[in-house]
Amino acid sequence: MNAESEPDRLRLLSAASTGMAGVLDMERVARHLVAVALGGFADTVGVYVAEQLIVGDEPPRPPGVRAVETRRIAVGAAGADLEPLFPAGEMVVFAAGSAYAACIADGAPQRFGELDRHLVLEPRVPPPRPARERLADLVDFLLVPLRTGEAVLGLAAFARGKAAGPFTDADAALAGELAALTARCLDGARRYQREHAAARALQAGLLPLPPGAVPGVRVAHRSVPAGRANLVGGDWCDVVPLPGGRLALVIGDAMGHGSAAAAAMVQLRAAARTLAMLGKDPAEILTWLDRIAPDIGPVQFATCACAVLDPAAGTAEICRAGHPPPILLRPDGDCDVLDLPPGLPLGLDGADYENTRVAVPDGSTLVLYTDGLIETRARDLEAGIAALRSALAGRAGPLEDACADVVAKLVVPPNHDDVTGMLVRTGT
């Protein structure tokens, strides 16, 4: 391709921009650059990013004269398979003083006419003949830094064979534009991937005890954050073992969605767990949470239901703060909505909460949930509770299956509210 032709230049930039827009995976961004550049601009292309980005760190500072650790995340060649020789995903250390290290350290393009073979890792398997011939035919190499602001994320390596001829100044300028676009998309993808990993770690760390962790009781739960973009939300549930084989069950819903609601949820959940471990009954736990809620930031209101289950006695003390009523699924398959004082949501200060003792026969399932499970724009509270009872009726099989089926029946993503459901079954 002649980069001095404005239509060709715009075609390549448009193809790159269109393909990378909204892509939140670094490897997919890099592979798209490779595919675009192989469409007439270069004969081989490789994309390398700093190893720190792969493990979730910030872009490294210029390494000076040191060797540079990178990860090859995409590679391609016109008419040849370079994967056996240069596998994507492989860590590559560029020697200090090499053109590769200089490209990243100085943030400036580099040109050379012969591949520095001493900088290339030995292939794990002998490369196929087309790859060997392709490497021997390359006569011009152009390394362009992947820069965002002051940070250099890595480099894009372009090469041409004898038939295509060397890169012109216009080609080098176009390579710089392609690299700049790629760097912006890579930076967005790596930020998303880092936040995604952090959110997943947070979500995993906040899950209740795994099934079987409480003797004589089985627990199953599901959480679905609102929308497509959120990874965590304001809903939570928890199971806290107590002396005498009892356990505290807590479920709550902090107002809002996303990170702000999740931050409030973390504080309320930690406080509820601590209060339960101190021996507070459900009403006392909710009273203290009501006092705490106004001081936890912009999200000041939440609903919550709390229970202390005593499997040996076959009873539970339950209290709620503006939260949907629990449901008791009896061993014979009948569902009862527990008649409990509704209470006021947390954060209104001065609310009066009241415990209710209910019978929980052996083999019963106590169902706790947030309003996102039952309410939608087309289904009000009463209709939602009826739908939940219908989904639960006759459910005597494995608890995990029952929990998954109930959520699947009632929630159609993208849901507009966070959803959490917890099923707790007594008996063996």
pLDDT digits (tens, 9 = 90+) for 211-230: 456 677 899 988 887 765 55
Which one of 1-10, 133-142, 195-204, 264-273 scores highest in mean pLDDT? 264-273
Other beta carbons less than 10 A from residue 220's beta carbon: 20
- Torsions phi, psi of 205, nearest 5? -70, -20
Name the pLDDT band for 118 (thresholds 50, 70, 90). very low
pLDDT above 90 for 165:
no
Cβ-count burial 333-365 (b if 16+ within 10 Å, e if not): eebeebebeebbbbbeeebebebbebebeeebb
pLDDT above 80 for 73:
yes
Q: Please report, rounded to a whole number, the percentage of residues in the chain having pLDDT higher than 70.
A: 82
pLDDT, mean of residues 53-76: 74
How many whole angstroms from its chain centre is CA 34? Answer: 26
Distance of alpha carbon 233 from alpha carbon 419, whole angstroms: 9
Arithmetic mean of pLDDT over the chain = 83
pLDDT for 121 equals 45
pLDDT, mean of residues 189-204: 67
Tell me which residue of 160, 191, 187 sits closest to 175, measured CA to CA. 160
Whether 423 and 399 have beta carbons less than 8 Å apart is answered as yes
pTM, 2 dp: 0.59
pLDDT for 328 equals 94
Name the pLDDT band for 209 (thresholds 50, 70, 90). low
| 322 vs 85: which has the higher pLDDT | 322
Name the pLDDT band for 353 (thresholds 50, 70, 90). very high
* Residue 300, SS3 per DSSP: coil
Give the alpha-carbon dihedral of 186, 192, 194, 199, to 10 degrees.
Answer: -170
For the chain, the straight-line distance linking the first and the last C-alpha, in angstroms and rounded, comes to 71
Q: Please report, rounded to a whole number, the percentage of residues in the chain having pLDDT higher than 90.
A: 39
Tell me which residue of 368, 250, 249, 245 sits closest to 314, measured CA to CA. 245
Query: How many helices (H) and strands (E) would you count in the chain?
Result: 11, 16
Q: Which residues contact 301 (CB under 8 A, 6 or more apart)?
A: 254, 255, 293, 345, 346, 347, 348
| Model confidence pLDDT, tens digit, residues 131-150 | 566 677 788 999 999 998 87
pLDDT, mean of residues 42-67: 75
Distance of alpha carbon 286 from alpha carbon 268, whole angstroms: 10
Name the pLDDT band for 120 (thresholds 50, 70, 90). very low
